[in-house]
Amino acid sequence: RPIVYWFRRDLRLADSPALVAAARAAGAEPIVPLFVVDPRAGRGAGPNRWQFLASCLEELDRQLGGALTLRRAPGVGGAAAVAAIVAGFAAEVGAEIVVASGETTPYGRRRDRIVAERLAAEDRRLLLLDTPYCVAPGRLRRTGGHPYRVFSAFYRAWLAEPVEAPYERPAARFDALVSDGEATDLVDAAGRGYDVSPSWWRDLPLGPAPHLPAAGERAAIDRLTQFCESALPQYDRHRDRPDMAGTSRLSADLHFGTLHPRTVRDAARKTVEGPALDRFLAELAWREFFADVLWHRPDAAWHSWDPIGRHLAVDDGPQARERFTAWARGETGYGLVDAGMRQLLSEGWMHNRVRMVSASFLVKDLHLDWRWGARWFLWHLVDGDIASNNLNWQWVAGIGTDAAPYHRIFNPDRQAERFDPDGAYRRRYCADLPARLSIVNHKAERAEALTRWAAAKAAVRHESTAD
Ligand code: FAD
């Protein structure tokens, strides 16, 4: 019997244990590759991520010799619609087994449960292997079986896990088997999945970004090779400098699975050792930590992990929206924040240091809800990822795991002096900008943020004594 291979966040042929297993199960029979465009899974993603996905799929289809079948779930259908499509496809091609790489997001897990049930009802099976992580979320536990709450302890456990070598690309025969009567134009089908942004974003720049990175497995491997040859040896010294090409820029590849982190980790270990390697592995582990946190606390995607977040007063109304608009357009008057927000609009990516500074500015200088900013980032970022994005936002806001002391509030000018000392980064994105007055006074807003924090803390104390 042929085997259906359902591609999701693993848009590659190399280093894929699930694909290896599918090839073994198929034997002499073909593997029938399927991708389901699922607007529910891409909810909140703007054109940048959809375009990147479409390019990944185009290349994947080329690698599969044109055998990839693309089906599109209706926007509102969610998991049940996807289940109907996968089950219908398996029946059409006469497959009993559907193989896929495991999903770990709250929606992905729910959807896979529903798909598995639907297939089981028809005497078929969904076989899930591997995840988009080196260590599957949910696997590492503290003594007593409790989930990790602090990165440093998680990281020690993560490092101690045995490292698998990357898997070879299997020798398999791919065949579409059925001619696809539905949308065969990948770009068009993926592009139609756009979500609706909040209506008051109407006048804001929603993309697409003019300078998106090259997408697909080949481009990802090239990026990894280039990074190992150039920036990795100085990673620990240059990673915080937005004016330098000091980081890997592999985040979108890891998100869509054109590379597995196993491959990245293996390449890094073979290239360097010492502080550069340690620092790089720690960043890969942050990604895995946040996926682990979300695994245990699916509600933490949009509700603050720490109860204090529920009590923190945020601004709303027309002035708050005006301030958000200035932030989103890169017109706050703070050079590093503005350059970052403009890099986001132009490339669908922003340097990590600047993500931290601009996120902090939204929360602590503008006193806006972190979710507004998280949503804007998710819309534009090519690497937009519910775990990494939303838990990093909470980390910056001081309401997530590992909360840094709240009074450590980034001063955007001081950050610019330290990490963009010659102003090269700011000039690159804001050269055409006339010098403008800052929309707020950092010193005054810092004091305001601390007052609100103290009030929230008192409210939490009150709540716990009232219990
Ligand atoms: P490198 O420095 O080369 O790091 C290698 C890889 O490690 C990255 O590709 C990424 O997968 C992972 N990584 C690095 N730093 C972090 C981190 N702090 N948290 C989690 N993973 C990390 N990353 C995303 O992938 N998607 C997001 O939606 C996202 N949103 C963010 C929002 C905010 C407010 C902040 C502060 C950070 C966010 N990050 C997000 C984390 C980080 O900024 C990016 O992963 C990084 O900038 C990507 O660039 P790079 O690939 O060159 O990173």
The model's confidence at residue 180, banded by pLDDT at 50, 70 and 90, is low
pLDDT band per the 50, 70, 90 thresholds, residue 195: low
Band (pLDDT 50/70/90 cuts) for residue 182 is low
**Nearest atom in ligand 1 to 389's CA:** 30
On the question of pLDDT at 303 being above 90, the answer is yes
**Judgement on whether residues 360 and 232 belong to the same structural domain of the protein:** no
Q: Closest Cα partner for 10 from 99, 74, 107, 140?
A: 99
370: annotated active-site residue: yes
* Catalytic-role residue among 305, 327, 376, 395: 305
pLDDT digits (tens, 9 = 90+) for 135-170: 999 999 999 999 999 999 999 999 999 989 999 999
Domain check: are 144 and 292 in the same one? Answer: yes
290-319 mean pLDDT:
96
* Residue 444, pLDDT above cutoff 80: yes
CA distance 20 to 421: 49
Answer positive or negative: Cα dihedral of 252, 256, 262, 267.
negative
Q: Please give the distance, rounded to the nearest whole angstrom, from the Cα atom of residue 32 to the centre of ligand 1.
A: 34
Tell me: do 118 and 37 sit in the same domain: yes
Q: Which residues line ligand 1 (CB under 6 A)?
A: 239, 247-251, 254-255, 283-284, 286-287, 290, 352, 355-356, 359, 377, 381, 383-385, 388-389, 392-393, 396
The pLDDT of residue 382 is 97
φ, ψ dihedrals at 466, nearest 5°: -75, -25
Residue 191 lies in a domain: no
Which burial class, exposed, middle or buried, applies to 429 when counting CB atoms under 10 A from its CB (0-12, 13-18, 19+)? buried
Structure confidence at residue 161 (pLDDT): 96
Check which CATH number belongs to the domain holding 352 and give it: 1.10.579.10
Share of the chain above pLDDT 70, in %: 95
CA of 24 to the centre of ligand 1 (A): 35
Catalytic residue among 50, 201, 286, 453: 286
What local confidence, expressed as pLDDT, does residue 17 receive? 98
Average confidence (pLDDT) over 398-416:
87
Q: Read off the CATH number of the domain in which 258 is found.
A: 1.25.40.80
Would you call 305 a catalytic residue per the annotation? yes
Q: How far apart are CA 320 and CA 323, in angstroms?
A: 5
Give the active site residue among 201, 327, 370, 372: 370
Q: How far is the CA of 291 from the centre of ligand 1 (A)?
A: 12
Rounded Cα–Cα distance for residues 348 and 404 (Å) = 27
Q: pLDDT at position 252, please?
A: 98
Are 333 and 430 members of one domain?
yes
Distance 388 CA to ligand 1 centre (A): 7
Spatial contact of 440 and 315, defined as CB atoms under 8 Å apart: no
Q: What is the pLDDT of residue 181?
A: 56
Range of the domain at 436: 308-459
pLDDT, mean of residues 331-341: 97
Residue 19 lies in a domain: yes
- The answer to whether residue 177 sits within a structural domain is no
User: CA geometry: angle at 54 spanning 428 and 375, to 5°?
Assistant: 60
Same domain, 145 and 292: yes
Say how many domains are in the chain. 3
386-404 mean pLDDT: 92
Indicate whether 460 pLDDT > 60: yes
At a CB cut-off of 8 Å and minimum separation 6, what does 52 contact? Answer: 212, 213, 215, 252, 256, 348, 382
56 and 142 part of one domain: no
Q: Do the domain assignments include residue 186?
A: no
Asked if 316 and 281 sit in the same domain, the reply is no
User: How would residue 466 be classed by pLDDT, with cut points 50, 70 and 90?
Assistant: confident
Same domain? 88 vs 102: yes
**CATH code of 70's domain:** 3.40.50.620
Is residue 173 a part of any domain in this protein? no
Domain assignment present for residue 204? The answer is no
In the numeric block, the tokens 């993309």 are attached to: 207
